[in-house]
Amino acid sequence: AQSVAQPEDQVNVAEGNPLTVKCTYSVSGNPYLFWYVQYPNRGLQFLLKYITGDNLVKGSYGFEAEFNKSQTSFHLKKPSALVSDSALYFCAVRGMNTGFQKLVFGTGTRLLVSP
């Protein structure tokens, strides 16, 4: 069975500082990994994905994520946080052995960027 763990309910960071939102996954075989962001009263917005290849993936709005197979992690990072980055972030996994597009999501991490 596939699963995702986001160990931090909330991450606090000051504007201009680097941020990291953690994600670990469990899946049979190689994973497809995704990060989404959700603003209040909105749907999920796609940030980036890891399919194969380079372990450092670059996405929208200056976000990037590092895939680490040995640690089964896919942490989201940004070099310099903005107040407007404050939102709910979800990590999701899809197994390559899955016959369809089901995404399994973590419980989300709330990012709060203070001015």
Phi–psi pair at 83, nearest 5 degrees: -55, -35
Contact residue for another protein among 17, 20, 28, 45 (CB under 8 A): 45
Q: How far, in Å, CA of 65 to CA of 73, rounded?
A: 10
Secondary structure (3-state) at 62: helix
103 forms part of the interface with another protein (CB under 8 A) = yes
Nearest CB to another protein, comparing residues 17 and 60: 60
Q: How far is the CB of 6 from another protein (least distance, A)?
A: 8
Contact residue for another protein among 10, 42, 58, 69 (CB under 8 A): 42
Residues in a beta bridge with 5 = 24
